[in-house]
Structure 1
Amino acid sequence: MFENFTWRNIALFMVALTIASCLMAWGMIIAIDRLIYANWDKAAGTQRVQHLKFERVEGTD
C-alpha cells in the first residue's frame, strides 16, 4: 500500500490539502461575513435615535 509514496507524492498531497483547506476557510469566512452584515444592516436601518432631554434642577445643594 505504501510502496507508491515518494517525496513528490507527499508534497503534492500536502499542497492539495493546503489549497482545499484554504478554500474551505475562505468560503466559511465569506458566508459568516454575509450573515453578520445582513443582520447588521437590518438592525441599523430600524433603530431610532433618541434625543437627549436636559432639565434644569434647582436646589440640589
Structure 2
Amino acid sequence: MGNEEQIKVTLQCYKEHPSYIQKALYHLFQLTSSFSEARPDILSRYCWKWKLTPADYSG
C-alpha cells in the first residue's frame, strides 16, 4: 500500500489504466479507514479531473 502522495501520483498518471485506478482507489480507501477525522476533501482532491461517460464504464 502506498502513502497519500503515491496514490495521488498513480491517480494522475495512470488514468488510462483502469486496473491501476481501481487498485489506487482501494488503497486510498484502506488509508482513509485509519483517519481519526472525516476528510471530505479526499475525493475532490484526487478525482476532480475525471469526466466519466457511460462508455468509460464498459470493459
Do the two structures share a fold, i.e. TM-score over 0.5? no
Q: TM-score by structure 2 length?
A: 0.34
In terms of Rg, which structure is larger? 1
Higher relative contact order (CA 8 A, sep 6+): 2
Structure with the bigger percentage of helix? 1
